[in-house]
Chains A and B, each alone.
Chain A
Amino acid sequence: NAGVTQTPKFRVLKTGQSMTLLCAQDMNHEYMYWYRQDPGMGLRLIHYSVGEGTTAKGEVPDGYNVSRLKKQNFLLGLESAAPSQTSVYFCASSYGQENQPQHFGDGTRLSIL
């Protein structure tokens, strides 16, 4: 049981390049989330999904897009990377109810030069 798996673990991009971060969960969770973690700011929600085929904006959605074509996968895309998007990105999943904890992946460290 792998839980939440993120790929890649590290990536360096040049400004303007695009890339996709992949998140996969094997817990049959309905809800999935993408966060970014920056020093002194905790985790901020980028986008989330409440089920296959659905997506919604979080607190900091600008510059990112997401897709949830399969229940187990949640993709985060950067169409034109900017240095301000240098961060550690975490994917999480949960059963969905507000009282259910979220399960996190190990993160993707992304640097934009």
Chain B
Amino acid sequence: AQSVTQLDSQVPVFEEAPVELRCNYSSSVSVYLFWYVQYPNQGLQLLLKYLSGSTLVESINGFEAEFNKSQTSFHLRKPSVHISDTAEYFCAVTLEGKLQFGAGTQVVVTP
């Protein structure tokens, strides 16, 4: 059974439109949560992380994610996307000491 679920495999979006990428995980204990971004032919880069404290975390390039403990979710949002945001986005959760990745969501931004 998959422990980290990204509900959308691909999300097409127009430039300057908002986008939301959904991530749910299955765990009853405290976890650490991450979003990584992968540009074509590159490795994964950390986008943002939730460790503790404020449930809303932000990245330097306008993305934000909110940790919802009751819904075991960590959805990623951006109010206005750019062409350069075209990439694959991975949600990852530390479960039982290991980092578990979701299947990824491909975001395609078009003019």
Using a CB–CB cutoff of 8 Å, the interface residues on chain A facing chain B are 4, 40-45, 58, 90, 92, 98-99, 101-107
Q: Which residues on B sit within 8 Å (CB–CB) of A43?
A: 44, 90, 101
Q: Are B94 and A104 closer than 8 Å at their CB atoms?
A: no
Q: Which of B45-53, B56-64, B72-80 contacts A (4 or more CB under 8 A)?
A: B45-53
- Count A/B pairs, Cβ under 8 Å: 47
Q: Are A40 and B32 closer than 8 Å at their CB atoms?
A: no
Q: Which residues on B sit within 8 Å (CB–CB) of A99?
A: 32, 49, 51, 94
Count residues of chain B with CB under 8 A from any CB of chain A. Answer: 22
Interface of B is mostly: strand
Also in contact, A45 and B94, with CB within 8 A (given A101-B49, A104-B43): no
Q: Are B90 and A42 closer than 8 Å at their CB atoms?
A: yes
Interface of A is mostly: loop
Q: Is B111 on the interface with A (CB-CB < 8 A)?
A: no
Bound-complex Cα distance A54 to B108 (A): 41
Q: Is B54 on the interface with A (CB-CB < 8 A)?
A: no
Bound-complex Cα distance A42 to B3 (A): 12
List 30 A–B pairs whose Cβ atoms lie within 8 Å, in order of A's numbering. Answer: A4-B43, A40-B9, A40-B103, A40-B104, A41-B103, A42-B4, A42-B103, A44-B101, A45-B98, A58-B98, A92-B43, A92-B44, A98-B32, A98-B94, A99-B32, A99-B49, A99-B51, A99-B94, A101-B34, A101-B46, A102-B44, A102-B46, A103-B46, A104-B36, A104-B43, A105-B43, A106-B42, A107-B41, A107-B42, A107-B43
